[in-house]
């Protein structure tokens, strides 16, 4: 199978996670961010992730891919219960966290920005959504303190380092991509359970953290 992704994309991380958790090989193909033609040819619109199945048919939508891969062998892993408090924490954090992440993603050495045109495409599109990246970067200290405070709240919700609720569930698929992207932000303070969970999930899912390129 082949998985078409952007490295920075949290939805793409969701799809990557299930392959790592189940130790199923997949060929990763990073699309240039300004390549509208390739995904449109596959599924009718520009989007990622897109899975090309063994029968060559295409499957878009991250959670559809997760469910498909998880059930392929008849032994699903994501059988644990979800916790409404995890969903609520994510909803609250997502009201502001893109102001931290998007300006840094635009500067980072991701393969989807291998050309100046691809990086410019991303920057123009996302600044159209949230405003000037430079202004948001200037306000980073306050947002870094805010996410650090919110991570302390998350710390109390983590049951085990190998599964946020004690057994692998869709909450893990929703939570880890954000924690992974936050490693792109220098200066965030991580409480011990959040850090241990994040690092363990990176190993389990075989999805790299971004600490080495933090901005």
User: What pLDDT, on the 0 to 100 scale, is given for residue 133?
Assistant: 97
User: What pLDDT, on the 0 to 100 scale, is given for residue 58?
Assistant: 98
Contact present, 112 and 183 (Cβ < 8 Å): no
User: What pLDDT, on the 0 to 100 scale, is given for residue 177?
Assistant: 98
Domain layout of the chain by residue ranges: 2-70, 85-213
User: What pLDDT, on the 0 to 100 scale, is given for residue 13?
Assistant: 98
User: What pLDDT, on the 0 to 100 scale, is given for residue 119?
Assistant: 98
User: What pLDDT, on the 0 to 100 scale, is given for residue 84?
Assistant: 98
Give, in order, the Cα–Cα distances in Å from 215 to each of 17, 89, 107, 144: 24, 24, 8, 12
The architecture in CATH of the region 85-213 reads Up-down Bundle (1.20)
Q: How many CB atoms lie within 10 A of CB 187?
A: 12
Helices H / strands E in the chain, number of each:
10, 4
User: Under CATH, domain 2-70 is a member of which superfamily?
Assistant: Glutaredoxin (3.40.30.10)
Q: Taking the model in full, what pTM does it have?
A: 0.96
User: What pLDDT, on the 0 to 100 scale, is given for residue 111?
Assistant: 98
- Which ranges of the chain have pLDDT less than 50? none
């Amino acid at each position: 199978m082949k998985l078409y992704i952007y490295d920075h994309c949290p939805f793409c991380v969701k799809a990557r996670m299930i392959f790592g958790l189940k130790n199923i090989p997949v060929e990763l193909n990073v699309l240039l961010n300004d390549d509208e033609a390739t995904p449109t040819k596959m599924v009718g619109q520009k989007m990622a992730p897109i899975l090309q199945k063994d029968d060559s048919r295409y499957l878009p939508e991250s959670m559809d891919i997760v469910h498909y891969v998880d059930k392929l062998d008849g032994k699903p892993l994501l059988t644990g219960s979800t916790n409404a408090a995890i969903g609520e924490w994510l909803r609250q954090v997502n009201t502001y966290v893109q102001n931290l992440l998007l300006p840094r993603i635009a500067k980072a050495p991701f393969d989807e920005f291998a050309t100046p045109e691809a990086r410019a495409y991303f920057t123009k599109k996302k600044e159209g959504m949230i405003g000037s990246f430079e202004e948001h970067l200037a306000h980073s200290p306050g947002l870094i303190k805010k996410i650090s405070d919110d991570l302390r709240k998350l710390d109390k919700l983590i049951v085990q380092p190998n599964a946020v609720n004690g057994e692998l569930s869709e909450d893990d698929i929703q939570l880890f991509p954000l924690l992974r992207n936050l490693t792109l932000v220098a200066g965030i303070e991580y409480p011990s359970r959040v850090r241990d969970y994040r690092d363990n999930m990176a190993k389990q899912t075989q999805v790299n953290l971004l600490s080495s390129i933090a901005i």
